[in-house]
Structures are given as structure tokens and as C-alpha cells.
Amino acid sequence: MKWNKEKFLEELTSNTSREVAKVGIKLYQFIEKNADEISWGKGSEYGTVTYKTKSDLGILSLFQLTTRGQVKFYVNYLRQKVIHKSVIKDYVIKLESNFLRDFDKRNYPTDSFCDISELFHTSTQVNKLIQTIEGIAYRLRL
């Protein structure tokens, strides 16, 4: 099954709490408005949508959202690409300060899904993530 906006948002709101759905919808709206490319998942169990940005290396994924109320940050994926170390460092520092979690190679060895309910406790955290993604995307486009 190929996902789209309507199916994704319907599934997100019916499978998650009101608070998680609210954050998910805000992040989806940001993806829709700002991503250079949007990638939809094809899975039948749950839906995914990925924020992708242009760079001199081509299109790069920055984060992914699921209908299960989860988010994946593509930190290790970006570490494997030949992008400037300061961009990765900036991404990691901002994620760590926003969510009070470690995203270093030892504590975050693979990109994995994190529950929105465990990450986001205030609307400020959502806004800070959006600002972080905007900044990283801008720097990658230079």
C-alpha cells in the first residue's frame, strides 16, 4: 500500500492519543510546507512520511514520522554521508539539548524510532525541532 496525506493523517489521529496526534500533525504540516521532497512509505502495518532536503550530495533524509506516533532522526545516516562535520555536530547538539537525550555514536548507534509521547512535552520542543530541521536543511543546500 502506498500512503498519502489523507490516509496518513487519518491513521495517525485514530491510532494515537490526542496530544501525540497534535504533535504529529504539526510535524506533518511542517514536512508538507518545507521539505524539498516528501517520501511516503509502502508498508501495510503503519504509514511513514520522510522529510528530505536537497544538498550537493543529492537528496538527503533528515527525519521520518509514523502513523504510530513515532519519529526517527537520521543522525547516523547523515554521519555516513560525506557532509561537513559541523552540520552533524550542530544537528546532534540541538537534538540533545531539545530532548535531553544522547545522540552520540555510542548511545545512538543506529537510527531508530522514538515515541513522540516520550520526546515532546511542550510545544516549545516541537518548535525547536522545526527550527533545527530548517537550519540543517539550509546549511545542506549551501
Mean pLDDT by 10 residues, the chain (142 residues): 93 97 98 98 95 95 98 95 89 95 91 96 96 96 82
Nearest Cα to Cα of residue 13 among 36, 47, 64: 47
Q: What pLDDT was estimated at residue 18?
A: 97
Q: What pLDDT was estimated at residue 141?
A: 87
Structural contact between residues 86 and 93, judged by C-beta atoms closer than 8 angstroms: no
Q: What pLDDT was estimated at residue 2?
A: 87
Q: What pLDDT was estimated at residue 74?
A: 96
Which three cell numbers mark 128? Answer: 525547536
pTM for the predicted model, two decimal places: 0.94
Q: What pLDDT was estimated at residue 123?
A: 95
* DSSP string computed for 51-97: EEEEETTEEEEEEEEETTSEEEE-HHHHHHS---HHHHHHHHHHHHH
